[in-house]
Copies of this chain bind each other. A is one copy, B any other.
């Protein structure tokens, strides 16, 4: 298997690695392992980008083969490929990637709000279940949670 970040500004490659890794391993690897493996790769790539003198605003595309062994992600660093597009040479590309990042931030805001609402929803469901338990306790001979 192979992970490819697609084009992304150097400042954002780490999150891109993680997202793509989640998407392509979904259902086969535990989230914790995805987070760990992404962090490992990102540390490795970070050093390479430093050595190559890549700037935050440059665009990069990173690909690396990996395998899943016993639920663990194993990077095959030998096959790592890093493409760099300097901001000055690929001005439009860099500008486009910056726009994309901005839009992602708007998406994040909305998803956070959705999550907040849904957590309230879950809390509400719990409260209704508690009230029903009280109804059962005081008005019926139904089996109670305390008896389970």
Binding site for B on A (CB under 8 A): 6-7, 12, 15, 18-19, 22-23, 26, 30-32, 34-35, 59, 85, 90, 92-93, 95-97, 99-100, 103-104, 106-108, 110-115, 117-122, 124-129, 131-142, 144-147
A116 → chain B closest CB, angstroms:
10
Copies of the polypeptide in the assembly: 4
**Bound Cα distance A94, B118 (Å):** 38
Which of B32, B122, B139 is the one whose CB lies under 8 Å from A146? B32
Given contacts A31-B144, A90-B92, contact A135 B122 (CB under 8 A): no
Contact A125 B118 (CB under 8 A): yes
Q: Contacts of A22 on B, CB cut-off 8 Å?
A: 134, 137-138
Contact B146 A34 (CB under 8 A): yes
Task: Give 18 CB contacts A-B under 8 Å.
Answer: A7-B95, A7-B99, A19-B139, A22-B134, A90-B92, A96-B96, A104-B139, A104-B140, A110-B138, A111-B139, A114-B128, A115-B132, A117-B127, A118-B128, A118-B129, A120-B124, A121-B125, A122-B129
